[in-house]
A and B are shown apart, each in its own frame.
Chain A
Amino acid sequence: MNAPLVKLEGLKKYFPVRSDKLFSEKEWIKAVDGVYLEIQPGEVIGLVGESGCGKSTLVNLLLRLEEATEGKIWFDETDLTHLSQEALRKTRRDIQMVFQDPFWSLNPRLLVRDIVGEPLTVYLKLSQTQLVEKVQSLLEMVGLPRESLYHYPHEFSSGQRQRIAIARALALEPRLVVLDEPTSAIDILSQAQILDLLMQIKRNLGLTYILISHDLSVVHYLSDRIVVMYLGKVVEEGEADTIFNSPRHPYTQALLNAIPDITKYSLDDLQTLEGSVPSAINPPSGCRFHTRCPMAMEVCRREEPVMLKLGNSHRAACHLLQSNNPKAKRGIP
């Protein structure tokens, strides 16, 4: 196996909470709580989980929009967490991001030329003609006409705006692109086009993607590997097809069974999870999912499950999978 492009080692991010009481102990929101992850070059990793599971924080850490509390982020064998601002500028070129809503991620007062050209003007010294030429070829790559240069973002449909955002992300020829809900604000037909475009670009440029989406069908379509997060921790990871066809963690199973799709005609086909994600300030003891898990046992309340290797690159953290574990057996009443 090659050296991984990205390697997260015990990554943690705690946010302090303002307490109501004057002398109470300081409390922390444990947004990301000990994540280990490796991403191979050329891979598409799908990050899945309900809102509040820490996937956005994870991405912010990777882009150094937030500072990690603990742990290391290796990007191509440099540790991003201990990089000076100056050195960071260089690696930033390699990691770019496409944001969720293209209506808000593009400055409404700038022409498309200036939006797509912004990263170029920050890093390179180009003449005006060179800049326009470069922007033009980027627009061509994402399938937008040359005339788009001198238009404002509001004149485009949401699918086209997302193309502009993709062109901007590609301007510096990055190696890793983070896609944060790239199609959640887009109609189904444009979504199909954008997904196709993303795949095509990935193949042509040899990119690595990290994809965040709450639409699991999109994740399934794009990803090679899927990582399921719950309350700041990875609960299951594996090949996309393995996760979709034989999920092992009850949370993954619940997520998958909750998706409505065109083959389901009755609500009885959908599984619901009781309650919402518990607060990350005082996460439940033991397995964090036990408060909502339909299969919770006594041991789940007490002990945190460890990651178990279930197959080639398939891992999950659940006491149920440790059936030969004597502790688990004792837990069953």
Chain B
Amino acid sequence: MNTLLEIKNLKINFKTFEGEKQALDIEHLQLGRGETLGLVGESGAGKTVLALAVLGLLPAGQSVIHSGEIRFDGEDLLQKSRRELEENYRGRRIAMIFQDPMSTLNPVFTVGQQLGNVIQRHRGLKGADLKNASIQTLELVRLSDAESALQKYPHELSGGQRQRVIIAIALSCGAELLIADEPTRNLDVTIQAGILKLMDELQKTLGLSVLFIANNMGLVNVICKHIGVLYRGKVVELGPSRAVIENHKHPYTEALISAIPREKSEKLKFAAASLRSETKRGCPYYARCPLAVESCLEQNPNLIPISDGHRAACILLREGGGR
């Protein structure tokens, strides 16, 4: 497999008034070319922190990168200067789409101006060429009536159309890696299905690698081949979507899946907020884990291989997945 993004031993802390708090602690995570990886976890699990770290957009005064490397196409992004990141990576080879399509677009410029700006900067086109390229890009994202859409302001578009424009802007510069941070949050299900299909289609035709961030298992498995489950900045389970969902091994993954309501008033199984008091050592999930034993406190478990590509971080697991 040709690896595009590889993260090793990445440790990032946030400064708060109670001292530093661990935001991210990733042993190893990789994404191949043309692959799709979905990251699932609650808010505060570090999904967005990871995305911002890859882009080099972490708030400087408030975060500390302790160690690790983020390799994109072999180069360590953490060693790059801000200028290098801006010129060669961010918005050029790595694009990101955010969850709120309303505030991502600038309300005082038309779609054409915003899209044109990006295309002009990256491809140096002008005049009629620029307009044609803009229309082509909008047609690529299946925006109906692309030519008139260029003249419109963001508020004249619906939520789904805005998200399509944002995808168009993100991809107009020929990115290889697309980071999508809950792109369909707050969209209606019918619109969401359309956006997901579009992303899937673009991913396949353009050979994109996609890092898809979501807080819902049900959403990532339709679009991603692989799923990573994050808990408190740590990958606790990782593997092919079907394996993670149907044969999940980590108790946290289990909690996430059984918390999805399905039938009418069936008793929802959910992890209580806290079963034990928080500790600093050992497994981060110790306090909430229904299966925890004394030895969980001894060490922070590493990912243990279960089957091909499927790994989980729980000391109760033996290699191969038995308990």
Interface residues on B, range: 35 or more
In the bound complex, CA of A22 to CA of B161 (Å): 31
- For the complex, is A192 an interface residue (Cβ under 8 Å from B)? yes
State how many angstroms separate the Cβ of A191 from the closest Cβ of chain B: 7
Are B190 and A260 in touch, CB under 8 angstroms?
Answer: no
Are A264 and B268 in touch, CB under 8 angstroms?
Answer: no
In the bound complex, CA of A191 to CA of B256 (Å): 11
- For the complex, is B125 an interface residue (Cβ under 8 Å from A)? no
A189, A196, A214, A221: the one within 8 Å of B271 (CB):
A189
- For the complex, is A267 an interface residue (Cβ under 8 Å from B)? yes
In the bound complex, CA of A216 to CA of B218 (Å): 12
Are A192 and B222 in touch, CB under 8 angstroms?
Answer: no
Q: In the assembled complex, which residues on chain A have CB atoms less than 8 Å from the CB atom of B262?
A: 217, 220-221, 261
State how many angstroms separate the Cβ of A291 from the closest Cβ of chain B: 13
Are B190 and A272 in touch, CB under 8 angstroms?
Answer: yes
Contact indicator per residue, chain B 199-231, by CB within 8 Å of chain A (1) or not (0): 010000000000000011111011100000000
Contact indicator per residue, chain A 157-194, by CB within 8 Å of chain B (1) or not (0): 01000000000000000000000000010011111110
Are A192 and B268 in touch, CB under 8 angstroms?
Answer: yes
- For the complex, is B196 an interface residue (Cβ under 8 Å from A)? yes
Are A262 and B161 in touch, CB under 8 angstroms?
Answer: no
Name B161's closest neighbour in chain A (CB-CB). Answer: A276
- For the complex, is A265 an interface residue (Cβ under 8 Å from B)? yes
CB within 8 Å of A: which of B98-144? 144
Are A264 and B222 in touch, CB under 8 angstroms?
Answer: yes
Are B190 and A188 in touch, CB under 8 angstroms?
Answer: no
Are B221 and A262 in touch, CB under 8 angstroms?
Answer: yes
Are A267 and B200 in touch, CB under 8 angstroms?
Answer: yes
Name B199's closest neighbour in chain A (CB-CB). Answer: A267
- For the complex, is B43 an interface residue (Cβ under 8 Å from A)? yes
In the bound complex, CA of A174 to CA of B242 (Å): 45
Contact indicator per residue, chain A 16-48, by CB within 8 Å of chain B (1) or not (0): 000000000000000000000000000000000
State how many angstroms separate the Cβ of A279 from the closest Cβ of chain B: 10
Are B245 and A255 in touch, CB under 8 angstroms?
Answer: no
Q: How many residues of A contact B (CB 8 A)?
A: 43
A158, A254, A261, A275: the one within 8 Å of B260 (CB):
A261
State how many angstroms separate the Cβ of A29 from the closest Cβ of chain B: 15
Contact indicator per residue, chain A 187-221, by CB within 8 Å of chain B (1) or not (0): 11111110110010000000000000010111011
Are A265 and B242 in touch, CB under 8 angstroms?
Answer: yes
Name B273's closest neighbour in chain A (CB-CB). Answer: A193
CB within 8 Å of B: which of A215-266? 216-218, 220-223, 240-241, 254-255, 258-262, 264-266
Report, nearest first, the 5 A-B pairs whose CB atoms are least far apart: A221-B261, A192-B270, A192-B259, A187-B42, A261-B218
Instruction: Give 20 A-B pairs besides A189-B42, A258-B190 with Cβ atoms closer than 8 angstroms.
Output: A50-B188, A158-B43, A188-B215, A189-B255, A189-B256, A195-B268, A217-B262, A221-B264, A221-B266, A259-B189, A260-B196, A260-B218, A262-B217, A264-B222, A265-B222, A265-B241, A267-B200, A270-B196, A276-B161, A276-B191
Task: Using CB atoms and an 8 Å cutoff, list the residues of chain A in contact with chain B.
Answer: 50-51, 158, 184, 187-193, 195-196, 199, 214, 216-218, 220-223, 240-241, 254-255, 258-262, 264-267, 269-273, 275-277
Instruction: Write 11 A-B pairs (CB below 8 A) sorted by A numbering.
Output: A187-B215, A189-B259, A221-B264, A255-B190, A258-B192, A260-B193, A261-B262, A262-B257, A267-B222, A271-B193, A273-B194
